[in-house]
Every structure is written in C-alpha cells, then in structure tokens.
Amino acid sequence: MLRKAHSLVVVLMMVISLALVGCSNSTNGNGSSSDSGEKVTITFMHLWTPGSSKQHNMIINNIIKEFEEKNPNITVKQETLENEQYKNKLKVLAASNELPDVGMTWAAGFLEPYVKGNLFAPLDDVLDSGLKEKFVSGTTEAYAIDGKTYALPVELNITPVYYNKELFSQHGLEAPKTYEEFKHVVETLAKNGVAPIALGNKDRWTGSLWYMYLADRIGGAETLKNAINGSGTFEDPSLVKAAEEVQNLVEMNAFIKGFNGLSNDEAKAEFTNEKAAMYLMGTWDLPQFTTNEDIPKEFRDKVGFFKFPVVDGSKGDVDSWVGGPGVGLFVSENSKVKKEAKEFVKFFVEKWGEMSVTQAGVIPATKVDTSNMDLPQMYIDVLDELNKATNITLFADVQMNPEAAQTHLNLIQSLFGGEISPKDFAKQHQEVLSQTK
C-alpha cells in the first residue's frame, strides 16, 4: 500500500539529488579586486564563436595566452555569443549593471545609450599612450561622444561592388565607372536572363547600403551626414532623388526575385551560385572570395570588385565609400578590474592589428603595413583603395540613434517594396530624426 508513495518519494529524491549535483558544479565568475599580485579575472564577452569564426577565435585565444603569460596573475575568461543574442544579452546585463569587464560594441548610435548610462569607461588614456597614431583616421572618432572615446575599434570595412567577371565578359560588359554605364549593365543582364544584383533585403541594412551610395553620389558625402546629425534636412532634393533612383532600379528588375524577403545569406548564395552578377557588400566578405576553401576556387577566381559608380554632373566622388569601423572593445565603467581590463584592451588591439589580416582576413582599424605580407591580390587592392579613400560614411543604421535606425530600416524595406513615395520616405526620416534627438 505504501509502495506507490514510497516509489514516488524515491523518484523525488533522485530528482532532487540530480539537481544538487548540478548545483555543486556551479562556479562564481566575477572579477576580484585589483591589487597587483593578487589573482585577477577579466571577463571578456564577444561575438567570435569558435564554430563559425574559427580564425578570429584562434587569434583571440593566442592573444589571451600571450597576455596571460606576460601577466601571470591575470586570467581572461571568455564568453561567446552570436550577433543577435549578443546584443540582447548585453542589454540585459546593462540593465542589471552586470556588464563584462571587456566586451564588444558597435559605434555611434549603438554606443550612445550605454555611454549616456555611464556604463562604458572612457579610453582616452589608453589612446594617449601612443596608440592613437596607429589607428586609421576617423575610426576611433566613430566611438567618441562629447570628445571622449569609449571603445577601440578592431575592424574596418568598406563596401565595394563585387562582380562576376566571367558573367560580365560573356555579355560584353565591363566594370562600370559611371552610373549610366551601370544602368546599361543592369539592362543588358536583365534582358539576358541573368539577375543583375544579388540583394537580400529581409535584413534591411543591405538595401540601406544601396540607398546610401546613391545618396552619396548624387548629393555628396556631407548631405546625408548632415541630414542624420540634424544640421541639414532629410528632405534635401538630392536625398529624395536617391530614393527615386532606388525605385527605378527595382523597376528595371535589377535585383533578384523576391529580394525583399530574402536574407543576406540567401542573396550571397545566389551570387556564389552565379545566378546573379553583382553583390554590394562589405570587405568582411573578402575571405569568401579569396581564401575560403569551402567555396569552389573556380568561382573565387572570377570575382573582382569595382567602386560604386559616379553619377554624372553630381557632387559625388568615386573614392568616397560607405563603410566604417565594425566592432570595438569597451571597458565597463563599473568593472572592478578596470586597470587590468584597459591593459588587456591595449594589448589586444596592438596584437590583433598585426595578425588579423593575414590570419583571419579581417582588416583592422589600425594601419596595416602590407609591404611584408603575403596577401591575395584582392586584399592588396582593397587596402590600397582604403589608403586613397577621401571619405568613409558610417552605415546609416549605426549612425542614427536606435529608434531612428529602426524606422530607417523599415522605410528602406518599404522603399524597395514600392510601398512608399520617395518624398514620403524623406519626410518620415526627417520626422523621426527630429523627434528622437
């Protein structure tokens, strides 16, 4: 009679002891106070997972190892998350004031709330110790608010138009230099059943790149920048015209079928499978087209790039790029091991700059000396272009504050989907930008 209750109790005991076993394994991983000589742990949270960013991750581990060797009392504890989840977790941690000692952040608009909340430590002291000159001009500025720098960038990217040289020559086409030539390329390809441009606008920032270049070429680099920072207006005619051009391109069937619902990965696949001839994307994709063995060499050899064409009679300049620094390292203002964390960041940035291009194919924000490096030709070309660049405009959704950025991205999707007029597009931008100062 008691048997059933008895066996139930046994089950419960087992369950509870299982839970306790799990409990006893718990560790408590917060940094201890920073007396030199005492054991110190730095928590470092980042995006470069060992599964997908193998080279990045390897470099990080090497740098950490070297740092730990040089500083035997310091241990660096890593946590990796993928992009979206990283952003979410960062927010949750920030709300409870539990940010890791060192972490990654994006520039400008993303950085702002954290800085306003006094969560990031200014890193000017780190820069002033000789590091500043090593950075490409304009990169650390993207992480500065009110004159203080809050993160040090470790990536720098520009966005060329990659194209399939073979598909082009098959149709008697060459890399266009002017926008008229570009439109001719688009028409020819479309007529012959080749999708001219691979675009996956589900994520919206991809379409934003196209808009930004058109805005830059038609209105010049300053117009867009001023519209965003409030000293100009988004309803400037050149910005409206850029929006019109976007819709013209859509009318011409310049983009792959169903682009507004495709992810960037799916679009990239169309380009890689040679169903589309052009792909506007950042230099973070360079490894795909140069060193990545998973992609057939045959295809990689066919890929080249050209700079976004100039629009005749307009202010734009062919050496003006859309791009900018990617992620940067921050130090938490409330970190108990701030001194050590800052040292780590300094060490990391320096070492990273030496290795990132050759080992991970990532262009760092610090200046790169290509003379001794053995790099694929496309890298050398890109780095040369970087040196010649007259301007790098930061991605619109990074420049803007988060609320405006979301609106911008949604408007981009509407614009590409033909659901909104260019005038309205500009007007709504102006509204949200002025409301969310």
Q: Please, which of residues 184-213 interact with other proteins by CB under 8 A?
A: 202-204
Minimum distance from residue 17 beta carbon to other proteins (Å): 10
Which tokens sit at 96? 């409870």
The label of the residue with tokens 């950025």 reads 405
Question: Is the distance from CB of 63 to CB of 352 less than 8 angstroms?
Answer: yes
Which residue, 188 or 414, is less far from other proteins as judged by CB? 414
Q: Which of residues 302-331 bind other proteins (CB under 8 A)?
A: 327
Per CB under 8 A, 33 contacts other proteins: no
CB half-sphere exposure, 238, CA atoms < 13 A: 23
Minimum distance from residue 273 beta carbon to other proteins (Å): 5
CB atoms within 10 A of CB 32: 11
Alpha carbon distance 260, 46 (integer Å): 30
Q: Which of residues 248-287 bind other proteins (CB under 8 A)?
A: 256-263, 265-266, 269-270, 272-273, 275, 282, 284-285
CB within 8 A of 360, min separation 6: which ones?
A: 53, 55, 56, 58, 59, 287
Per CB under 8 A, 23 contacts other proteins: yes
CB within 8 A of 376, min separation 6: which ones?
A: 286, 290, 291
Q: Interface with other proteins by CB under 8 A: which range of 12-20, 143-151, 166-174, 330-338?
A: 12-20
Per CB under 8 A, 231 contacts other proteins: no
**Residue 415: which H helix or E strand, with range?**
helix 402-416
What does the angle CA 195 – CA 198 – CA 203 come to, to the nearest 5 degrees?
145
Minimum distance from residue 350 beta carbon to other proteins (Å): 21
Per CB under 8 A, 8 contacts other proteins: yes
Q: Which of residues 81-100 bind other proteins (CB under 8 A)?
A: 81-83, 85, 87-89, 91-96, 98
Which residue, 154 or 392, is less far from other proteins as judged by CB? 154
Which residue, 359 or 414, is less far from other proteins as judged by CB? 414
Q: Which of residues 113-152 bind other proteins (CB under 8 A)?
A: 113-114, 116-119
Alpha carbon distance 9, 18 (integer Å): 14
Could you report how far apart the first and last alpha carbons of the chain are, in Å? 73
Per CB under 8 A, 434 contacts other proteins: no
Per CB under 8 A, 428 contacts other proteins: no
- CA-nearest of 136, 139, 148 to 106 is 139
Per CB under 8 A, 49 contacts other proteins: yes
Q: Interface with other proteins by CB under 8 A: which range of 14-22, 165-173, 209-217, 340-348?
A: 14-22
